[in-house]
Amino acid sequence: METVLDQKLVSSWFDVHQSVPETYVFPPEKRPGKLNVPLCKSIPVVDLASYDHRDTIQQIFKASQDYGFFQVINHGVPQKVIDETMRVFKEFHAMPSKDKAREGSKDPSRNCKLYTSSENYANEEVHFWRDALTHPCHTSEKYLQYWPNKPSQYREVVKGYLEEVKNLGCVILELLAEGLGLSSEFFNGRLSDNPMLLSNHYPPCPDPSLTLGLTKHRDPSLITILLQDIEGLQVFKDGNWIGVEPFSTAFVVNVGYVLQIISNSKFKGAEHRVVTNSRAARTTIAYLIYPSNESLIEPAKALCNRNPPLYRSLNFKEFLKIFKSKAANAEAVLQNISLSGS
Ligand SMILES: O=C(O)CCC(=O)C(=O)O
Ligand SMILES: [Fe+2]
């Protein structure tokens, strides 16, 4: 008989096991290796309140080229909103599993859902050490009716948070557009109007050397704006893993595949993963900026004057289909949409 979701959640059983269950143990070649990688002091922390607009654009441009990652501070999102939102998600993930499963399975079309490991749990060889809650950010009743309403403050707090992060997203996309030499409104509208929220929860793990919270991947987004409480996020840079330092006042921003395509590879979708730890649960809140399904994804014309376009045009729905069929293999995703065939 199929096990029901509430029993599968890592948060429902992690504390009754002394060791890692076999279905969570990665084969030696896929294990995380060195866990205590250096926290990277060189991933730029960009001050968005700086008066030097050109310098801010330059910092973000360079970070998006070099790392596909940067952090932002003085971003305008009130600290109270950040702290309350983190608290509400921690409360959500700490609720009894049955309540969580109920709150996360109201939507028959499964836009709003709670799941564990990955959306492909049934077909995975090894599971990831995480639970995840996701839903669209739009607050029309069509979606809102399926958002959790436990903890009781969930909707109010998350709605307030998303309004703030939406504004921040616009600011960052404008800076990225200007850096690329595009009009500052380039990403407004359909290229960015389908944001999703994703809260990841990684309970403590008895042996982090055997497990992964998330394997190496790139996000299928334009950009992702992440709030993290403690360390665990790592970026793959020049053949090494480096840690992204957690700051309670900062958001981590990373470039996704869609921005890599539109920027004609000026920016690289950053490869990243999540490792587990044995000391404390880790909670993150990702705001993934996606285009609408019918939106056309292609290298911006203005970036293809001197350089030929590297990727073919396709709509976002088509891109997602390719991404989902080849998710574990970044090269295969890019090869499928690459014009050079290389
Ligand atoms: O939880 C994190 O630190 C990162 C999560 C992530 O990479 C993702 O959800 O795509
Ligand atoms: Fe990611």
Model confidence over 195-236: pLDDT tens digits? 999 999 999 999 999 999 999 999 999 999 999 999 999 999
Average pLDDT over residues 14-30: 95
Determine if the peptide bond prior to 308 is cis (ω within 30°).
no
Q: How far apart are CA 151 and CA 314, in angstroms?
A: 40
Average pLDDT over residues 136-161: 97
- How many Å from the N-terminal Cα to the C-terminal Cα in the chain? 46
Q: Please list, in sequence order, all residues whose beta carbon lies within 8 angstroms of the beta carbon of residue 212, skipping any fewer than 6 positions away.
A: 26, 30, 31, 32, 128, 129, 273, 274, 275, 276
Q: How far apart are CA 257 and CA 310, in angstroms?
A: 13
Q: Please list, in sequence order, all residues whose beta carbon lies within 8 angstroms of the beta carbon of residue 42, skipping any fewer than 6 positions away.
A: none
**Where do the structural domains in the chain lie, given as residue ranges?**
2-307
Tell me what the pLDDT averaged over the chain comes to: 95
Cβ of 284 closer than 6 Å to ligand 1, yes or no, is yes
For residue 329, what pLDDT band results from cuts at 50, 70 and 90? confident
Nearest ligand by distance to the CA of 274: 1
Q: Please list, in sequence order, all residues whose beta carbon lies within 8 angstroms of the beta carbon of residue 268, skipping any fewer than 6 positions away.
A: 64, 65, 68, 255, 260
What spacing in Å lies between the alpha carbon of 81 and ligand 2's midpoint?
23
What spacing in Å lies between the alpha carbon of 200 and ligand 1's midpoint?
7
Q: What is the ipTM of this complex?
A: 0.99
For residue 55, what pLDDT band results from cuts at 50, 70 and 90? very high
Cβ of 225 closer than 6 Å to ligand 1, yes or no, is no
126 contacts 200 by C-beta, under 8 angstroms: no
Average pLDDT over residues 34-47: 81
291 contacts 323 by C-beta, under 8 angstroms: no
Q: Go through the chain and tell me how many residues it has.
A: 342
Residue 326's pLDDT is what? 81
Nearest CA to 269 out of 322, 214, 321, 223 is that of: 223
- Note if the pTM is more than 0.90: yes
What spacing in Å lies between the alpha carbon of 218 and ligand 2's midpoint?
6
Domain 2-307: what homologous superfamily? B-lactam Antibiotic, Isopenicillin N Synthase; Chain (2.60.120.330)
Tokens read off for 87: 């608290």
Cβ of 272 closer than 6 Å to ligand 1, yes or no, is yes
Model confidence over 228-258: pLDDT tens digits? 999 999 999 999 999 999 999 999 999 999 9
* Residue 311 main-chain phi, psi, to 5 deg: -130, 150
For residue 40, what pLDDT band results from cuts at 50, 70 and 90? low
Cβ of 219 closer than 6 Å to ligand 1, yes or no, is yes
